[in-house]
Each structure stands twice: as structure tokens, then as C-alpha cells.
Structure 1
Amino acid sequence: MKANNALHLNKNTRAQVGIGTLIIFIAMVLVAAVAAAVLIQTSGTLQQKAQSTGKQATQEVSSNLMVKTIEGVRAKTSSTNMSETIDLLKLKVGLNVGSSPVDVNQVVISITDGTTANNLVYAGNTKSYASAGQDNGDMDSFSSSDASSNLETLLTGNTSASSSINNADHYYTVEKIRDEDASFSQSNPVMNTGDLITVYIATTSDTAVSSGYPTLGSADVSAGLITSGLNLVPRTTVNIVLTPESGAATTADFVAPSSYGVKETVQLYP
């Protein structure tokens, strides 16, 4: 009797290992590495942008000027012969608590009496009214050390920048009141926390100019006042906006009294 010698193959695939599996494994590792590198780079870029945005947002919130008081001064020839208009504004300005330093050289002041609006820059700013590529935009005869001289020049002078302009309706000047660290100067007017300054804004009227008053506050204006285009008669509504380089703008509104009486200096704000 012939024996049955049929062969049977045992199919066992539980431990299949080969070059194909190895290639697939390496490819998966490479893909994971590339994906991880992309994620790390993206997260780093987002972090830098978030830090930059946060810093800018902090500056916008914390860099705030604060107008404490505003006084108006009338031009005069004597204690009994004074202008019918306010011809000079003296703003006492400081910084809010926790504010970042503010470069006054970059602060733009807008003032309007309801009829005329002036946009003023700091008298020592060499760029605002300069011709392209030139460095001559500051107020002519600007002094880097003498605040009183700058005030007189503001009230009586003209400037030949990109064109001939009146100082009174293009510039403002400043004078420090409190500066503990001696960091504030006419040529580098940077305010730190605790600093207090006076900002001078010319509001000379046509009437005051034609009357030839020789004195305006502490300034000798015998050389002749220059008109600002503003006319601050009694009951005039005045709006002033101080816009720094960064941070929120500061607004100060007031209505002039119904009569100036015999006062040379008039309290206007608050």
C-alpha cells in the first residue's frame, strides 16, 4: 500500500520583518521630525510677535500725559491797560502714575477756538517743517538752553523752514518746573515719572498784535507780537489735544470766563 506523502506549508506571518517595513518606519520618523521642526519654528515666531504686540500695547496704555492746570495770560502795557483777549496759554503738564517716558519733541498739540485750528510741534523739532533731506525744521533762533528766550521768539518771530511761517501758529515751547534727575532740557525734552513742565501756547489775537503791547507775562514782546490766528475773547470754547508718539491722546476743554476783569492771569482749567 502506497504511503500518502502530501506536503502542507504552514503560513505564519506574525513576525514578518523585511526591508519594506524598515523603509516605512524610517519615512515615518523623518515625517515626524519635519513636522516637529515646523511646529517649533511657528511657535517661536508667534511668541516673538506676541511679545512685540504686548510691549506696544503696554506703551499705548501706560504712556499718558496729564494736563493739571491751564492759565491764560493777557498782553499789557501796564496793570490797567491790558488786551481784551487771552494771548498766551500756560499748561502745567505731568505724567500719569506708571507712565513710560514721553519725548516732548514728538508731541503734537492741536488747539482750536471753534473758528481757527492750529497744529503745533515743539520748537526744537528739526524734522516737522524741514525740507526733504534737510535738517532745518526747528524754530529760527531756537536756544538749546534758554527757555525764556524761546518763549519770546515764539511770540514775536518768524521761521524760514520749508517756507516762511509764523512761530505763533506752528510751534510751542516748554519750561521745566520739576526735574529730579536733571534729564529734561530744551534740546532733549524727555519727561520721566515725576517730572513737571510748563507748555507755552501762543494765542495772540489780531487785536493784541495791532495794539502793540510790549509785555506778555514775563516775556518782553516789544519787538512786536505775531498773530496766532486764534481769538480767545470771553466765553470762547477752547479744545486742546496733546498727542504723544505712543500712548493715548490727552484732551483738555474749557470755556473762557464771561469777563476777564482786571486780571492779567486767568485760571481756565480745571
Structure 2
Amino acid sequence: MFEFITDEEERGQVGIGTLIVFIAMVLVAAIAAGVLINTAGFLQSSAQETGEQSSSQVSDRLQEVDTTGNVSGSVVDKVNITVTQAAGAGEIDLRNVTVNWVGPDGTYTIVHDSVGDGATSADSNFSVTELKDADDSSPVLNDPDDRLKMTFDLGDGNKPDELGEGEEVTIKVNTMSGATTTIRFTVPQSLDGKQGVEL
């Protein structure tokens, strides 16, 4: 009539319960570990990508080599800026460069002349001439030895206006990666009898 449970049977039931709890804990820990590993991998790739972008913003910039002006009468009607890669910079395509020109007659946005009128709201265009380009990659700077000339035609229907004696200009050259190079120059106080000047 009465059925007695022995100590051995009770211990067996407790052991099975403990085993089930242990297996459940192991499964939960495995799932949590998988989530943590995936999250760590995602964060690492995001951090690496952010680091590369930040590095490009600092290093992928232009370096000014020389700035000259073409003189017509008593004004400068053309500005030529020779550029190269800054130290540690990667490839820089001048077709993707945006120039912010701040001069005595206002502020202008200037882009490469290959950019069509419908594709931009820029005020004007600049052209590029290769001075030194061993692999004919112009208008892309891909070697520290490359030298390309950016030419800005002023006035005569173009913006900005021609520059007079003693006038100052600041331009900011922004590459596609977001790096900025600031170039400042001043027209000499006297242009009489000159055809070209160092700015």
C-alpha cells in the first residue's frame, strides 16, 4: 500500500534536476558569449573604419608648392597654384576637390571644370595642367613627385573678379576625404610693367 522512496532515489532525482539547471546555464552562457563576440567584432570593424576615415581627413590633403599670378594691365587676371600630395597622403583626384575662395569681392565655391553645370551649384571652375606626372595620371595626384597646376581665371565673365594691387585672398582646398588645405596670398603693391608675379 505504502511505497517508500529510498535515499538513493531522492538523490537521483536531485542530481537530474541539477544537471538540467547546469545545462540550461551553459546554454545561456554560450548564447551570451556569442552575442558578446558578435558585438565586439562589429565594434572593432566600426572603430577601424572610423580610424581610417579620421586618418584620411588629416593626411589626404594637398600641399602648395608655388602660387603665381598673370598680370594684365594693373590687375591679376589669372592665379596659378602648383600643388602636390602632402606627406603621407593617398591618391587625390582634383576632379573631386572643392575650393572655397574668400576675396575682396566676396566668397565663391569653385570646382574642377569637368564637373557639369547641372551637377553643381558652384560659382566657377578651375582647370588642371600637369607639370610633372610620370604615369600620366592627371588630374589625379598619386605620387609624391607629381606636380599639377590649378588655374583660376578671374574676371571677364568669370567669378571671382580680377585682383587689384595689394588685395588679399584666402582659399580653402577641400579633398573628397574631407581634408582641408588653407592657402593665403597677397597681390604685390605695384604691378606696373610686370607680366607675372609671385603671390
TM class, shorter-length = 0.7 to 0.9
Larger helix share, 1 or 2: 2
Match of 1:48 in 2: 45
Structure 2: distance between partners of 1:31 and 1:108: 54
Candidates 166, 171, 196, aligned match of 1:265: 196
Larger strand share, 1 or 2: 2
Identity of aligned residues (%): 33
Match of 1:130 in 2: 118
- Report the TM-score, using the length of structure 2 for normalisation: 0.86
Structure 2's unaligned 5+ residue stretches are: 1-5
* Aligned 8 A contact 1:91 1:199 in 2: yes
Structure 2: distance between partners of 1:228 and 1:42: 52
Q: Which amino acid letter does the alignment assign opposite residue 103 of structure 1? A: D
Match of 1:20 in 2: 17
* Aligned 8 A contact 1:237 1:253 in 2: yes
Q: Which amino acid letter does the alignment assign opposite residue 261 of structure 1? A: D
Question: Alignment partner of 2:11: what SS?
Answer: coil
Q: CA RMSD in A?
A: 2.3
Candidates 44, 61, 79, aligned match of 2:58: 61
Q: Shift of residue 27 of structure 1?
A: 0.9
Q: Shift of residue 266 of structure 1?
A: 0.6
* Deviation by residue 1:66-90 (Cα, 9 ceiling, x = unmatched): 1111111023xxxxxxx21100001
Going from structure 1 to structure 2, the CA distance change for 1:125 and 1:227 (only over 3 Å counts) comes to: closer
Question: Alignment partner of 1:25: what SS?
Answer: helix
Which has the greater radius of gyration?
1
Question: Alignment partner of 2:76: what SS?
Answer: coil
Runs of 4+ in 1 over 3 A off after TM superposition: none
Matches within 5 A, 1:227-246: 227-246=158-177
* Deviation by residue 1:174-214 (Cα, 9 ceiling, x = unmatched): 10011112222xxxx2111221111100122xxxxxxxxxx
Structure 1's unaligned 5+ residue stretches are: 1-10, 76-82, 132-136, 138-161, 205-224
Q: Which amino acid letter does the alignment assign opposite residue 60 of structure 2? A: S
Q: Shift of residue 247 of structure 1?
A: 4.0
Structure 2: distance between partners of 1:51 and 1:227: 44
Candidates 17, 27, 38, aligned match of 2:35: 38
* Aligned 8 A contact 1:87 1:202 in 2: yes
* Deviation by residue 1:8-32 (Cα, 9 ceiling, x = unmatched): xxx989x934321121111111111
Match of 1:97 in 2: 87
Structure 1: distance between partners of 2:60 and 2:158: 33
Question: Alignment partner of 1:199: what SS?
Answer: strand
Structure 2: distance between partners of 1:227 and 1:99: 32
Structure 2: distance between partners of 1:17 and 1:103: 76
